[in-house]
């Protein structure tokens, strides 16, 4: 960001501002001409005498003269309008450009903050800065040069015009300006104070909302809603008072300006009228002066407003600058200290000498820590809780910069390396790794987005790590149950084959007691009537209501309306039998009834009037009947003849819908893969019999068995790698997110992996698997692992005990126990507490 | 298959015999119909028993886990209710239940059952009646045992 607002304007938007000034300059002569021509028309064309006039050989009589002048006036109006359009457009564009540049600069700045500095900002604060605070600054930048130039110029042009007509009139026009120039800054100072207060109050207000949002569980569990409403009210009230005071000052000033502005015409009428009567001034000139004065008001008020906005924006810019200010000691080097090849970790040491580090000034977390590590070995860091081990671990990963002391690997000093270089050599895994929106594969290969010189790992390597972390079952399940659009034809064919194998197997083993298969010519008891009628799925751009409309229309056309109205009536009647004497807000209605509480009244009327019901009510009855699933609700029987009619209807609906929307409804076709269903559903291709106890897991086992013999299994893993995990990985589980975070580090080009209690959110089985893998010979990277229980450190090469801000003890597990110091004490304590052992 | 059929069956169960058909329909509709295959474990001894089961179709073996593969200690049949006391008193299942044939159960969660009792006061009266009768029976048996042994060594 530039130092001051005007530096920003003149440096970042220089080209735009010059263009705007040029446009503005063009507008002045036009404006002058627009004022002058009416005067010529009144004085010369209407009131003039010496006709015909001669212009470069043309003779013009009075009428022609008037017309030509009018036409010139008209052309000037058009030109002026066009010019105004361009000025407004360019100004708007400049505004947006300024916001864009400012946002870009701010984002570039904050993303490079040191971690400890960055963590001082909450995400809501950053969003507020990027989204809200930049906006008014951008708005001002657009007008910053052009407005005073244009309005000032307009004002001068108009005044010039008035002065040329009559010097006294000119003096009258500006007579009250000094008063305003005196008054405005007084008001402005008051408003500036309020602006600062407002900024502070808004910040407080935002903090309170953030607190309520983040602490909502505790607020609800301790029933603190009222207390927080009170706090919120106080902050909101404070903000309201500041803002209303601001508006009071603003409109008080406007009031004075308006009064003053209206005194001047009085002077014009009195003095100007006197001059006209005395013959010092022509009537045309007075009319023009009055017109000019009307126009004078606007630029003058605009200028005064501009002055206010200028002050306001200066404060905003300063605030923003102050908020994003990075003290020099917190700045990050951008150039590597030594340009050399990446270090071979096996031949070097990681040294810390007298390290100091604090997040909050005066509250050091690391104090005089000294140690020497072999980064290619497996090192465990152990401490009791509350010692700041996490921060110490982050420091070793190069995420923080020590306040004092030295920290280096071979000749890379952490203090002077840019983050990028360290990021390529050391990879850090947090307690809860962040997973970004995008595919699983993109997340796994994220480190390579910064390390271009390294080749991405092969597919086999990725799958190997996935298997090592025991993720393949999870991934296969993702592949089975999520939707993918990128299946090859051979995969689709295989799925159809598996569908047949599965069906054969189920029918042999269970007959028709497990799955109600989708068969084109058979009514499906476990699908709703709507699904039975349409027998397929619409692509996602259609809502169910839209498709329902088509079904209803066609039912009417083919004469099935009465049959379905009767079914709907029977259902409604049964629902009323069961639920009618419950209170309207009874939970049963919401949970079980096909007719929800708000609809009860409507359906009651429909039942009473049946079968004489209006079109709208027919539609309601049909909707009710559509929701009915025979096997689930069992309130009425669908006779075989109706079932046949429904099956026949499917074909008609297909033709009917396809006519208007070809390829937008995918029918359940036994011989086709349905891309709107996940692979799991494509294989079973039917509905599980309603109420089948543990049905899902029984079917899962059968599908797993079938998959074992198929090549689709490996395909599932690859599909899962393409699965989009959503913002923050919210489409996958917490365990999966963390495992992907760990896998990402293992796959990264970094030679040293630093883990901060990275397995604590996982189940014990996974914790053990990962620990075993990391400590095995297969694992070719160096590891520094801040373990969450001392027992885990057993098989590590080196153990560091971090206590009171320093490395108190160092050695292997056995040595430290024998040493009988703080580590032994901690270990014994944990043993007595009965910690579950992972090591 | 139809709700009506379940209602007719419920009518034959003493606990439900005095309840009006509409309310029986509500019970049948709100309860979960569960289909078990022969050999499926319906529940295990020691599990938290939070549902009342009514056998709509089929039979089930009652077992104690120590004798899993021997003869069942009892067989429960269509129309019987299982677990109403355990559910109401929050005690774990005292036995294991395994489907003897393919069977269908109507399962009422504790939460649902309590709501139903609130809606259908007759049901509450019937339950009190039922429990009182059982208590009387137990006391009677107990006294008979004491009379037989003539001492306090009753296990």
Cβ <8 Å between B34 and A693: yes
- Ramachandran region of residue A685, left (φ > 0), alpha (ψ -120 to 50) or beta? left
pLDDT band at A495 (very low <50, low <70, confident <90, very high): very high
- pLDDT tens track for A662-712: 888 889 999 999 999 999 999 999 999 988 888 888 898 999 999 988 889
Pair A133, A284: CB distance under 8 Å = no
Give the 3-state secondary structure of residue A196. Answer: helix
Q: Answer left, alpha or beta for residue A535, where phi above 0 means left and psi between -120 and 50 means alpha.
A: left
Distance from the B152 Cα atom to the nearest Cα atom in chain A, whole angstroms? 43
For residue B97, give the 3-state DSSP assignment: strand
Enter the DSSP assignment of A343: P
Nearest to A836 by CA among A765, A774, A737: A765
Q: What is the pLDDT of residue A423?
A: 59
Min distance B97 CA to chain A CA atoms (Å): 14
* Fold exhibited by the domain B3-149: Jelly Rolls (2.60.120)
Backbone CA torsion sign across A307, A312, A318, A321: negative
Q: Any idea what DSSP says for residue B47?
A: S
Which residue among A577, A588, A635 sits closest to B115, beta carbon to beta carbon?
A588
Q: What is the pLDDT of residue A46?
A: 81
Burial class, A102, CB count within 10 angstroms (exposed 0-12 / middle 13-18 / buried 19+) = buried
Provide the token pair at A621.
């009855």
Residue in chain B lying closest to A638 (CA)? B2
> What are the residues facing A665 on neighbouring strands?
A538
- Residues of B with CB below 8 A from A582's CB? 119
A 10 A CB-CB count for A550 gives 18
> Inter-chain contact A513–B104, Cβ cutoff 8 Å?
no
Determine the pLDDT at residue A640: 93
Dump pLDDT digits (tens) for A463-489.
999 999 999 899 999 999 999 988 899
Contact residues, chain A to chain B, C-beta under 8 Å: 510, 513, 574, 577-579, 582, 587-588, 591-592, 631, 633-637, 689-694
Position with higher pLDDT, A436 vs A332: A436
- Number of residues in chain B: 155
Q: What is the pLDDT of residue A276?
A: 86
Mutation target to probe the B interface, by most B beta carbons within 10 A, among A513, A571, A643, A693 is A693
Question: Residue A693 is nearest to which of B22, B26, B40, comparing CB atoms?
Answer: B40
Question: Cβ separation of B40 and A694 shorter than 8 Å?
Answer: yes
CA A121 and chain centroid, separation: 17
Beta carbons within 8 Å of A735's beta carbon, 6+ residues apart: A761, A762, A763, A766
Statement: residue A442 has pLDDT above 90: yes
Best CA proximity match to A36, nearest among A125, A217, A162, A216: A162
- Residue from B117, B101, B103, B94 nearest B45 by CA: B94
Tokens of A516: 């109600």
Q: How far apart are CA A766 and CA A760, in angstroms?
A: 10
| Cβ-defined contact of A690 to B33 (cutoff 8 Å) | yes
From the list A513, A634, A694, the residue facing B3 with the nearest CB is: A634
Residue B149 vs residue A371, higher pLDDT: A371
The yes-or-no verdict on residue B107 having pLDDT over 60 is yes
For residue A703 the two structure tokens come to 């599908």
Residues of B with Cβ-Cβ distance to A634 under 8 angstroms: 1-3, 6, 29
Write the DSSP string, A478-523: HHHHS--S---HHHHHHHHHHHHHHHHHHHHHHTTSSEEE--TTS-
Q: Do B2 and A637 touch (CB under 8 A)?
A: yes
- Give A185-203 pLDDT, tens digit per residue: 888 888 888 888 888 888 8
> Tokens 């004092």 appear where?
A404
Nearest partner of A36 among A296, A279, A291, A269, judged by Cα = A291
The mean pLDDT of A401-413, rounded to a whole number, is 78
At B69 the three-state DSSP class reads coil
Who has greater pLDDT, A54 or A134? A134
Residues of B with Cβ-Cβ distance to A579 under 8 angstroms: 26
Give the Cα separation of A238 and A233 in Å (integer).
Answer: 8
Q: Which of A577, A693, A694 sits opposite B22 (nearest CB)?
A: A577
Cβ distance A133 to A320 under 8 Å? yes
Q: With an 8 Å Cβ cutoff, is B153 touching chain A? A: no
Q: How many CB pairs under 8 A join A and B?
A: 52
Per DSSP (E only), the strands in B11-148 are 32-36, 41-43, 51-57, 59-63, 74-77, 81-82, 96-99, 103-109
pLDDT-based confidence at residue A124 (cuts at 50, 70, 90): confident
d(CA A531, CA A517): 13
* B33: contact with A, CB 8 A cutoff: yes
Helix A712-721 to helix A695-708 angle, to the nearest 10 degrees? 110
* A634 vs A645: CA distance, rounded Å: 20
Of the CA atoms within 13 Å of residue A451, those in its CB half-sphere come to 22
Is A161 strand, coil or helix? Answer: helix
Interchain pair A693, B32: CB under 8 A: no
Mean pLDDT across chain A: 86
Residue ranges of B 72-111 with Cβ closer than 8 A to chain A: 102, 104
Using alpha carbons only, give the angle A250, A252, A257 rounded to the nearest 5 degrees: 95
Which residue in A154, A162, A146, A155 sits closest to A27, CA to CA?
A154
Domain ranges of chain B: 3-149
Name every chain A residue with its beta carbon within 8 A of the beta carbon of B115: 587-588
For chain A, say whether B59 makes contact (Cβ under 8 Å).
no
Give the relative orientation of helices A561-579 and A640-660 as an angle to the nearest 10 degrees: 120
Q: What percent of chain A has pLDDT over 70?
A: 95
- Most B CBs within 10 Å, among A578, A583, A586, A687, to test the B interface: A578
Q: A588 to chain B, minimum CA–CA distance in Å?
A: 8
Nearest CA in chain A to B5: A634
pLDDT band at A766 (very low <50, low <70, confident <90, very high): very high
Mean pLDDT along residues A534-561? 88
CB contact at 8 A, A368 and A417: no
Q: Is B42 close to A689, i.e. CB distance below 8 A?
A: no
Chain segment A239-284, per-residue pLDDT in tens: 999 999 999 998 898 888 888 877 877 877 888 888 888 888 788 8
Cβ–Cβ under 8 Å, residues A797 and A377:
yes
Chain A within 8 Å of B34 (Cβ-Cβ)?
yes
For residue B2, the chain A residue with the least C-alpha distance is: A634
The C-alpha of A543 sits at a distance from chain B's nearest C-alpha, in angstroms, of 29
Contact predicate A282/A265, CB 8 Å: no
| Cα–Cα dist B115/B106, whole Å | 16
Q: Do A636 and B2 touch (CB under 8 A)?
A: yes
Give, for A409, the enclosing helix (H) or strand (E).
Answer: strand A404-409
Indicate the DSSP class of residue A414.
Answer: G
Please, which pLDDT band fits residue A528 given cuts at 50, 70 and 90? Answer: very high
Mean pLDDT of B60-72: 75
Contact B35 A693 (CB under 8 A): yes
CB of B117 within 8 Å of a chain A CB? The answer is: no
Residue ranges and CATH numbers for the domains of chain A are 5-196+261-328 (1.20.1560.10), 345-458+728-833 (3.40.50.300)
Encode pLDDT of A788-831 as tens digits. 888 899 999 999 999 988 899 999 999 999 988 899 999 998 88
**Cis peptide, bond prior to residue A52, ω within 30 of zero:** yes
**Residue A653 to residue A642: CA distance in whole angstroms:** 16
Q: Which residues contact B46 (CB under 8 A, 6 or more apart)?
A: B65, B92, B93
Number of H helices, E strands in chain B: 5, 8
Tokens of A648: 């026949």
Q: What is the band of A411 on the pLDDT scale with cuts at 50, 70, 90?
A: low
Name beta bridge partners: B109.
Answer: B51
Distances (CA, A) of A826 to A789, A822, A834, B75, B136: 9, 6, 13, 57, 60
Structure tokens at A677: 């269903």
When pLDDT is averaged across residues B30-48 and rounded to a whole number, the result is 88
Alpha helices, DSSP H only, in A215-344? 216-221, 225-267, 273-278, 283-323
Q: At what angle do helices B110-119 and B121-149 cross, to 10 degrees?
A: 110
Q: How close does chain B come to A767, measured CA to CA in Å?
A: 29
Q: Give residue for tokens 């864009």.
A: A100
CB contact under 8 A, A510 and B37: yes
Query: Nearest C-alpha of chain B: how many angstroms from A595?
Result: 14
> Which residue from A minimizes the CA distance to B38?
A510
pLDDT range class, residue A589, cuts 50, 70, 90: confident
A623-639 pLDDT, tens digit per residue, is: 999 999 999 888 888 99
Q: Which pLDDT belongs to residue A332?
A: 65
pLDDT category of residue B154 using cuts at 50, 70 and 90? very low
Residue-wise DSSP of A659-724: HHSTTSEEE--TTS--TTS-HHHHHH-EEEPTTBTTHHHHHHHHHHHHHHTSTHHHHHHHHHHT-B
Report the b/e string of A738-765 with b at 16+ CB within 10 A.
Answer: bbbbbbbbbbbbbbbbbbbbbbebbeee
What integer pLDDT is reported at residue A128 of this predicted model?
84
**Which chain B residue has its CA at the smallest distance from A592's CA?**
B30
Closest CA to A755 of A355, A465, A352, A380: A380
Q: Distance between CA atoms of A485 and A495, rounded to whole angstroms?
A: 14
Task: Determine the Cα–Cα distance for residues A554 and A560; give it in Å rounded to an integer.
Answer: 9
Among B1, B37, B115, select the one facing A634 at the smallest CB separation: B1
């Amino acid at each position: 960001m530039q130092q001051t607002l005007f530096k920003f304007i003149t440096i970042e938007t220089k080209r735009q501002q010059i263009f705007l000034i040029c446009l503005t300059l063009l507008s002045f002569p036009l404006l002058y001409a627009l004022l002058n021509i009416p005067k010529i028309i009144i004085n010369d064309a209407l009131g003039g005498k010496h006709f015909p006039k001669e212009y470069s050989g043309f003779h013009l009589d009075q009428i022609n003269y008037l017309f030509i002048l009018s036409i010139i006036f008209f052309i000037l109006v058009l030109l002026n309008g066009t010019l105004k359009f361009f000025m407004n457009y360019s100004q708007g564009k400049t505004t947006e450009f300024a916001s864009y540049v400012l946002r870009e600069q701010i984002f570039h700045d904050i993303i490079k903050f040191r971690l400890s500095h960055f963590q001082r900002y909450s995400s809501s604060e950053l969003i507020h800065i990027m989204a809200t605070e930049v906006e008014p600054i951008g708005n001002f930048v657009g007008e910053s040069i052009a407005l005073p130039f244009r309005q000032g110029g307009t004002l001068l042009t108009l005044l010039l015009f008035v002065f040329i007509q009559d010097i006294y009139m000119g003096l009258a026009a500006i007579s009250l300006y000094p008063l305003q120039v005196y008054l405005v800054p007084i008001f402005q100072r008051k408003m500036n104070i309020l602006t600062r207060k407002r900024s502070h109050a808004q910040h407080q207000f935002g903090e309170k909302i953030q607190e309520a949002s983040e602490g909502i569980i505790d607020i609800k569990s301790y029933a603190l809603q009222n207390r927080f409403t009170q706090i919120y009210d106080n902050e909101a009230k404070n903000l309201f008072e500041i803002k209303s005071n601001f508006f009071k000052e603003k409109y008080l000033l406007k009031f004075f300006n308006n009064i003053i502005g209206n005194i001047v015409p009085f002077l014009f009428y009195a003095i100007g009228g006197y001059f006209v009567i005395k013959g010092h001034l022509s009537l045309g000139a007075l009319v023009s002066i009055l017109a000019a004065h009307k126009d004078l008001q606007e630029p003058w008020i605009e200028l005064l407003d501009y002055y206010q906005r200028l002050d306001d924006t200066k404060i905003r810019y300063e605030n923003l600058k102050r908020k994003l200010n990075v003290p020099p000691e917190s700045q990050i080097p951008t150039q590597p200290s030594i340009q050399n090849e990446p270090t071979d970790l096996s031949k070097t040491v990681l040294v810390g000498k007298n390290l100091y580090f604090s997040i909050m000034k005066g509250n050091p977390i690391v104090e005089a820590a000294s140690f020497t590590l072999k980064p290619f070995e497996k090192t465990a860091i152990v401490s009791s809780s509350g010692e700041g081990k996490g921060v110490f671990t982050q420091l070793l990963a190069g995420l923080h910069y020590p306040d004092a002391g030295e920290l280096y690997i071979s000749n890379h000093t952490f203090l002077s390396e840019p983050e990028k270089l360290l990021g390529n050599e050391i990879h850090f895994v947090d307690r809860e790794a962040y997973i970004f929106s995008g595919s699983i594969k993109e997340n796994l290969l994220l480190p390579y987005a910064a390390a271009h010189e390294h080749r991405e790992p092969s597919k086999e390597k990725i799958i190997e790590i996935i298997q090592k972390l025991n993720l393949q079952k999870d991934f296969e399940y993702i592949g089975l149950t999520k939707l993918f659009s990128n299946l090859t034809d051979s995969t689709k064919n295989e799925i159809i084959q598996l569908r047949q194998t599965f069906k054969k197997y189920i029918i042999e083993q269970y007959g028709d007691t497990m799955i109600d298969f989708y068969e084109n010519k058979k009514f499906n008891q476990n699908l709703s009537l709507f699904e039975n009628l349409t027998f397929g799925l619409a692509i996602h751009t259609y809502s169910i209501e839209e498709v329902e409309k088509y079904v209803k229309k066609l039912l009417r056309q083919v004469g099935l309306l009465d049959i379905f109205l009767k079914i709907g009536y029977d259902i409604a009647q049964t629902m009323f039998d069961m639920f009618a004497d419950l209170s309207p807000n009874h939970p049963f209605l919401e949970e079980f009834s096909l007719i929800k509480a708000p609809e009860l009244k409507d359906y009651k009327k429909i039942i009473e009037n049946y079968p004489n019901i209006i079109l709208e009510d027919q539609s309601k009855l049909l909707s009710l009947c559509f929701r009915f699933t025979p096997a689930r609700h069992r309130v009425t029987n669908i006779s075989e003849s109706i079932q046949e009619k429904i099956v026949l209807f499917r074909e008609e609906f297909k033709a009917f819908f396809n006519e208007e929307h070809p390829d937008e409804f995918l029918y359940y076709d036994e011989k086709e893969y349905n891309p709107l269903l996940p692979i799991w559903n494509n294989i079973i291709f039917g509905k599980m019999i309603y109420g089948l106890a543990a049905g899902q897991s029984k079917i899962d086992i059968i599908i797993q068995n079938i998959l074992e013999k198929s090549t689709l299994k490996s395909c599932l893993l690859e599909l899962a790698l393409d699965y989009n995990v959503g913002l923050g990985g919210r489409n996958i589980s917490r365990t999966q997110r963390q495992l992907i975070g760990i896998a990402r580090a293992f796959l990264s080009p970094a030679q040293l992996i630093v883990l901060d209690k990275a397995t604590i959110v996982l189940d014990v089985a996974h914790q053990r698997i990962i620990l075993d893998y990391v400590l095995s010979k297969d694992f070719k990277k160096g590891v520094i692992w801040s373990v969450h229980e001392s027992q885990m450190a057993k098989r590590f090469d080196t153990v560091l005990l971090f206590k009171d801000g320093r490395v108190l003890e160092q050695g292997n597990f056995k040595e430290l126990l024998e040493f009988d110091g703080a580590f032994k004490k901690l270990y014994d304590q944990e043993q007595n507490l009965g910690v579950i052992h992972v090591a | 298959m139809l709700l009506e059929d379940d209602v007719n069956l419920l009518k034959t169960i003493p606990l439900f015999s005095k309840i009006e058909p509409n309310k029986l329909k509500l019970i049948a509709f709100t309860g979960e119909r569960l289909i078990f295959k022969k050999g499926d474990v319906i529940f295990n001894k020691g599990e938290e028993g939070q549902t009342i089961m009514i056998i709509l179709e089929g039979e089930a073996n009652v077992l104690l886990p120590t004798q899993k593969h021997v003869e069942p200690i009892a067989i429960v049949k269509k129309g019987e209710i299982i677990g109403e006391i355990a559910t109401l008193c929050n005690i774990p299942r005292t036995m294991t239940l395994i489907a003897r044939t393919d069977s269908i159960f109507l399962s009422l969660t504790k939460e649902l059952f309590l709501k139903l009792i609130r809606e259908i006061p007759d049901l509450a009266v019937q339950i009190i009646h039922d429990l009182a009768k059982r208590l009387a029976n137990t006391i009677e048996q107990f006294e008979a045992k004491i009379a037989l042994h003539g001492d306090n060594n009753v296990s």
